[in-house]
Amino acid sequence: MVSPIQYLKDVYQEVQRVVWPAPKTVLAHTGIVALSMIGLIALVSAIDYLFISIIKAILFKGQL
């Protein structure tokens, strides 16, 4: 079993080996994710609206 102190030392050493991306890369990837989420939200919302319209048309045919 590893002592908590040794564990934290090992974690620190591993973090030092990580190759962190450049801020420009992080910003670009964040933008891609944000735009993807906006597109996905729009798609799911459109499908939801379509299904709701179909269900209303079936359940309330001629009553609106």
pTM of the model: 0.65
pLDDT higher than threshold 90 for residue 14? yes
Rounded Cα distance, 58 and 54, in Å: 6
Residues 40/43/49/51 CA torsion (nearest 10 deg): -100
pLDDT in tens, 21-49: 999 999 999 999 999 999 999 999 999 99
Per DSSP, the three-state class of 40 is helix
